[in-house]
């Protein structure tokens, strides 16, 4: 199963996909939840770091990528790659996240976003001894 939906309700998919053969959003993502954070990895190959934007507002994480590329009159023998601006949104309303501490890094075409969870007041936090 390629589409796995948990209690994380995804308010995307109101998007006309470029390729009907490919039902997955062109920004492929993996989402993983650990006890401390939610980790989102998004593939945005060929986009430059300067042209990527990540923001978190009203429980929605928005990732947008601008191509800034002038299409030349090239003679394509094969054209499968995405040649347009992309955007994808994820709803995180079911999580209590420490929004101030969200961090993102970009390497080899993959955007790695860490959304740390808020530590609850009544929760015991174990600190490891070095």
Partner 1 sequence: MKYNPVRSNLFTMSDLFDDMFPSVESHMKTDIVEYEGGYKLTMDLPGYKKEDIEISMKNGNLTIQAEHNNSEEEKDEEGNIIRQERYVGKCSRSFYVGDNVDIEKIDAVFKDGTLSIELPHIQKEEVEDKTIIDIG
Considering only 54-62, 78-86, 97-105, 113-121, which stretch makes contact with partner 1 by CB under 8 A?
A: 78-86
16 binds partner 1 (CB under 8 A): no
Closest by Cα among 1, 91, 109, 97 to 46 = 109
108 binds partner 1 (CB under 8 A): yes
4 binds partner 1 (CB under 8 A): yes
- Least CB distance to partner 1 at residue 122 (A): 22
The answer to whether the Cα torsion of 17, 18, 23, 26 is positive or negative is negative
- Give the count of beta carbons closer than 10 Å to the beta carbon of residue 120: 9
| Burial category of 21 from C-beta neighbours within 10 Å (exposed 0-12, middle 13-18, buried 19 and up) | exposed
Pattern 18-57, partner 1, x by CB under 8 A = ---xxxxx--xxxxxxxxx-xx-x-xxxxxxx--------
Is 3 or 126 the residue whose CB approaches partner 1 more closely? 3
DSSP assignments along 81-99, one per residue: S--S-EEEEEE-TTS-B-G
Where does this chain bind partner 1 (CB under 8 A)? 1-6, 8, 21-25, 28-36, 38-39, 41, 43-49, 74-82, 106, 108-110
């Amino acid at each position: 199963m390629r589409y796995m939906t948990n209690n994380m309700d995804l308010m995307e998919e109101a998007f006309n996909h470029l390729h009907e053969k490919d039902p997955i959003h062109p920004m492929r993502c993996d989402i993983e939840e650990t006890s401390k954070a939610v980790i989102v990895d998004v593939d945005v190959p060929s986009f430059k770091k300067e042209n990527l934007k990540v923001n978190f507002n009203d429980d929605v994480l928005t990732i947008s990528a601008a191509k800034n590329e002038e299409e030349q009159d090239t003679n394509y023998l094969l054209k499968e790659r995405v040649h347009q601006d992309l955007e994808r949104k994820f709803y995180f309303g079911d999580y209590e996240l420490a929004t101030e501490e969200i961090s993102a890094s970009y390497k080899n075409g993959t955007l790695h976003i860490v959304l740390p969870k808020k530590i609850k007041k009544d929760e015991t936090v174990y600190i490891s001894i070095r």
